[in-house]
């Protein structure tokens, strides 16, 4: 089967690595997506185990059209009864860029009619459309004369793991937090600290990675479970295989935040993920924190200053830089922020730069090597 895993901009490479390690073949990186091949087990595994996929689509048909009618005729010939029945509800997501259609809505309507008409002719019943909570979500992609019809096997986006129920200020998308950790190369063999942890997304995703806990474990359901050809025995077997790989945590993972409410939210989310014995959180100003270990990884997603005045945000970033230099020697620090001016106030030269999208905000994800003693000079202070 040809499968397409969608992701966030900048996470394509780490997602392709995840899929390869799960057994995907013929992997190709696309824009905000990874295309690959695999069997039904691979489809279930990609949904249950990948940390950076937002959804996994299964291609049903790829074809070319010369007229609008071609779309209707070919879509009607698809054996929809393999996936749904006449009482299933369905929705269409259409992305269309073609001279044959002025409007994505019209192309989507054509696909909807072709499905409904096929069932009416075969069973006398037309399945109903439900855009809010459909049993089956069909994706239509038309580029010029090239059409791809796919099924969304995930249902709700995969970043909605299910453990995060409490959050206040600008929580990170769970898939983005996992992607940041995977880009950093952190793999649970050295301590990790997030001293601006907000609702705790980075520490929780870190503990899931370190303990090899599949992120799908917390979800109530996946889209493919409503398909007619759903193989529940196979899915149970895959879940058991994945859960058998879970290990104990070997390093310290900690978080802190200046806001008591954020720490309270973290505690709720950590508990929801069953990680209360793995992650320690406390209320503290980053300026008062000293490194809990000789070496480790520090990862923060500080406020971007969208709601703070520029002087305050500059001083927050300058203080953060000072604390990194004088309190975290021996560590590797990673900072995600959309505020490029404020990032200059950190006063350290990054050794790696990545561009990631956090919602609509284009962010820099920067690495700083905080050397001990004389090696510190290698980390030249910016003018």
Ligand X SMILES: C[S@@+](CC[C@H](N)C(=O)[O-])C[C@H]1O[C@@H](n2cnc3c(N)ncnc32)[C@H](O)[C@@H]1O
Q: Does 201 bind ligand X (CB under 6 A)?
A: yes
Residue tagged 């044959």 (tokens): 100
Q: Which of 192, 202, 270, 313 binds ligand X (CB under 6 A)?
A: 202
CB of 102 to ligand X, least distance (A): 41
How far apart are the C-alpha atoms of 256 and 289, rounded to whole Å? Answer: 9
DSSP line for 239-286: HHHHHHT-----S-EEEEES-HHHHHHHHHHHHHTT-TTTEEEEE--G
CB of 270 to ligand X, least distance (A): 12
Query: β-strands 146-152, 136-143: how paired?
Result: antiparallel
Q: Does 282 bind ligand X (CB under 6 A)?
A: no
Q: Are 141 and 97 in contact (CB under 8 A)?
A: no
In the window 155-184, what residues touch ligand X (CB under 6 A)?
A: 167, 169-172
CB of 169 to ligand X, least distance (A): 5
> By CB under 6 A, which span of 4-12, 37-45, 193-201, 368-376 interacts with ligand X?
193-201
Q: Which of 62, 121, 285, 341 binds ligand X (CB under 6 A)?
A: 285
Angle subtended at Cα 33 by Cα 30 and Cα 38, rounded to the nearest 5 degrees: 100
Q: Does 215 bind ligand X (CB under 6 A)?
A: no
Q: Which of 155, 198, 214, 216 binds ligand X (CB under 6 A)?
A: 198
Q: Are 123 and 86 in contact (CB under 8 A)?
A: yes
- Taking CB atoms, the residue at the shortest distance from ligand X is 198
Say if residue 308 is exposed, middle or buried (CB neighbours under 10 Å; 0-12, 13-18, 19+).
Answer: middle
Q: Which of 38, 191, 215, 303 binds ligand X (CB under 6 A)?
A: 303
CB of 320 to ligand X, least distance (A): 7
Q: Are 49 and 29 in contact (CB under 8 A)?
A: no
Say if residue 13 is exposed, middle or buried (CB neighbours under 10 Å; 0-12, 13-18, 19+).
Answer: middle
Q: Does 302 bind ligand X (CB under 6 A)?
A: yes
Q: Are 92 and 147 in contact (CB under 8 A)?
A: no
Does residue 303 sit in helix, strand or coil? Answer: coil
Closer CB to ligand X, 142 or 196, in the complex:
196
> By CB under 6 A, which span of 55-63, 235-243, 280-288, 374-382 interacts with ligand X?
280-288
Site string for ligand X, 224-263 (x = CB under 6 A): ---------------------------------xxx--x-
Q: Which of 16, 40, 150, 301 binds ligand X (CB under 6 A)?
A: 301
Number of residues this chain uses to bind ligand X (CB under 6 A): 23
Q: Does 153 bind ligand X (CB under 6 A)?
A: no
How far apart are the C-alpha atoms of 107 and 323, rounded to whole Å? Answer: 56
How far apart are the C-alpha atoms of 345 and 363, rounded to whole Å? Answer: 16
Q: Are 148 and 33 in contact (CB under 8 A)?
A: no
Closer CB to ligand X, 129 or 170, in the complex:
170
Q: What is the CA radius of gyration of the chain?
A: 24
Site string for ligand X, 313-342 (x = CB under 6 A): ---x--------------------------
CB of 286 to ligand X, least distance (A): 4
Which residues would be at the binding site for ligand X (CB under 6 A)? Answer: 167, 169-172, 195-199, 201-202, 257-259, 262, 285-287, 301-303, 316
């Amino acid at each position: 089967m040809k499968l397409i895993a969608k992701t966030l901009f900048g996470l394509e490479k780490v997602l392709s690595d995840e899929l390869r390690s799960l057994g995907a073949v013929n992997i190709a990186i696309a824009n905000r997506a990874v295309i690959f091949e695999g069997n039904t087990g691979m489809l279930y595994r990609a949904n249950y185990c990948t940390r950076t996929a937002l959804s996994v689509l299964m291609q049903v048909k790829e074809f070319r059209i010369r007229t609008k009618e071609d779309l209707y005729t070919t879509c009607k010939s698809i054996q929809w009864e393999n996936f749904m029945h006449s009482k299933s509800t369905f929705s269409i997501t259409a992305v269309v860029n073609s001279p044959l259609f002025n409007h994505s809505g019209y192309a989507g309507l054509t696909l909807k009619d072709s499905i409904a008409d096929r069932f009416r002719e075969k069973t006398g019943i037309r399945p109903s459309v439900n855009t809010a909570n459909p049993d089956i979500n069909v994706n239509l992609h038309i580029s010029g004369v090239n059409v791809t019809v796919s099924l969304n096997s995930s249902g709700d986006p995969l970043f909605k793991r299910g453990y995060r129920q409490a959050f206040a200020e600008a929580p990170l998308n769970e898939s983005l937090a996992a992607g940041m950790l995977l880009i950093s190369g952190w793999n649970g063999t050295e301590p990790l600290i997030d001293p601006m942890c907000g609702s705790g997304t980075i520490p929780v995703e870190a503990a899931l990675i370190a303990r090899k806990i599949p992120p799908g474990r917390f979800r109530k359901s996946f889209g493919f479970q409503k398909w007619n050809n759903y193989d529940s025995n196979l899915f149970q077997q895959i879940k058991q295989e994945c859960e058998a790989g879970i290990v104990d945590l070997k390093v310290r993972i900690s978080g802190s935040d200046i806001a008591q409410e954020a720490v309270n939210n973290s505690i709720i989310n950590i508990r929801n993920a069953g990680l209360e014995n793995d992650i320690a959180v406390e209320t503290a100003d980053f300026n008062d924190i000293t490194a809990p270990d000789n070496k480790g990884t520090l990862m923060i997603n500080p406020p971007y200053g969208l709601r703070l005045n520029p002087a305050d945000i500059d001083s927050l970033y300058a203080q953060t830089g000072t604390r990194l230099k004088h309190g975290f020697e021996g560590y590797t620090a990673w900072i995600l922020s959309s505020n490029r001016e404020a990032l200059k106030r950190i006063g350290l030269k990054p050794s790696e730069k990545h561009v990631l999208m956090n919602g609509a905000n284009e962010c820099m994800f920067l690495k700083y090597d905080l050397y001990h003693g004389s090696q510190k000079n290698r980390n030249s202070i910016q003018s």
